[in-house]
Amino acid sequence: MRRTPIVLALASALALSGCSAPAGQRMQETAAATAPPASGGGGSYAVITHGAPGDSFWDVVKNGAEAAGKQYGARVTYQGDGDPAKQSQLIDQAVSAKADGVVVSMANPDALRESIGRAVAAGIPVVTINSGAGESKALGAITHVGQSEDVAGRGAGEQLKAAGVTKLLCVIHEAGNVGLDQRCKGAEETLGGAVERLQVDMNNLPDVTSKVAAKLQSDQQVNGVLALNPAVAVAARDAIRDAGSQAKLATFDLSADVVTAIGDGEILFAVDQQQYLQGYLPIVFLHLYKNNLNTVGGGLPVNTGPGFVTKDNAQQVAELAGAGTR
């Protein structure tokens, strides 16, 4: 069967999820070689997330989106705000500017329902990412890119159980984020022990360290800590040291500091949802939709995880994390 350039480009983009090399550069070069022409220009796409600039996780999402925009000659604007009302306003602004597509993370789907509805009603394709997979289709998005938080949480719980954890502290850093609660619930399902949630403010990391340390000192039955963010994981590592605790620590998501801590044996593992792909793939999908009316996923999410970074593969991932692509 004859393969068109469009098909080759999509295959190249999807291959990113299984590649490992100094991969960042090599994968982009391979994809660029087969990229379809940007008919009538590469388009203008707005990426609007609930992660503020400067956050190690969301900076990688931004890097992925901008890399795809550069590849396809598209204009990509990235804006992040943890306030759902402000995020909704940014979506409305993208609609007013007649963006060719909108990428949005839905930590609070109900708060964004109306603004996403206005984008869909205006004929602007929407790709949701990261959080809100269960509501994505109902809100009219053409696809969702991310990981199943329930599945990822269950995987984390299984590994923590195997490591001997019997009482787990699950540290939630964003109130109202449905995905974070799903992670804790998933871990609770498979751990087979008690799971207690601790609400913290990740904008005050010293306070995170203090609160986690206080909990470990007051309840010495807690022998495991699950962070849901890499910056919070580093703060929790410091808390375990301060408390003189032997609690085992795991986290969701990567940063260079987390990968180093895994290599040093301070963190057991990180659940890796490959956030670079959550920025990169939506721009590819929107470009293909704009120029060829392609849709991806068949009504199901496009999963970018979960994978697990452990001491066994931390060294391989470290260079990529430092380069901003993992």
Residue 85's contacts (CB-CB under 8 Å, 6 or more residues apart) are 111
- Mean pLDDT taken over the chain: 88
**3-class SS at 147?**
strand
The pLDDT, as a whole number, for residue 324 is: 83
Contact 87, 55 (CB under 8 A): no
Counting DSSP H helices and E strands in the chain, the numbers are: 13, 12
Confidence of residue 6 (pLDDT cuts 50, 70, 90): very low
pLDDT for position 178: 85
Instruction: Tell me how far apart the alpha carbons of residues 26 and 28 are, in angstroms, rounded to a whole number.
Output: 5
Pair 198, 174: CB distance under 8 Å: no
pLDDT at 18: 42
Model confidence at 5: pLDDT above 90: no
DSSP 8-state secondary structure symbol assigned to residue 16:
G
More confident residue, 27 or 47: 47
In which band, very low, low, confident or very high, does the pLDDT at 10 lie, cut at 50, 70 and 90? very low
Predicted confidence (pLDDT) at residue 175 exceeds the cutoff of 70: yes
The β-bridge relationship of strands 75-80 and 44-49 is parallel
Spatial distance between the Cα atoms of 112 and 114, rounded to a whole number of angstroms: 6
**Bridge partners of residue 195, in order along the sequence:** 168
Q: Containing H/E element for 78? A: strand 75-80
Supply the pLDDT for residue 55. 82
- pLDDT at residue 54, rounded to an integer: 80
pLDDT recorded at residue 2: 43
Burial 146-158 (b: 16+ CB within 10 A, else e): bbbbbebbbbbbb
Confidence of residue 316 (pLDDT cuts 50, 70, 90): confident
Q: Is-contact 130 179, C-beta < 8 A?
A: yes
Q: Helices 56-72 and 230-243, interaxial angle, to 10°? A: 160
The predicted-structure confidence for 11-41, as pLDDT tens digits, reads as follows 444 444 444 444 445 444 544 444 444 444 6
* Per-residue pLDDT at 41: 64
Whole-model pTM: value is 0.74
Residue-level pLDDT at 9: 47
Question: What digits encode the pLDDT tens for the residues 124-162?
Answer: 999 999 988 989 999 999 999 999 999 999 999 999 999
Residues recorded for the chain: 326
Burial of 39 (0-12, 13-18, 19+ CB in 10 A): exposed
Two tokens at 218?
A: 């007051």
Judged against a pLDDT cut of 60, whether residue 187 lies above it is answered with: yes
Mean pLDDT of 84-101: 97
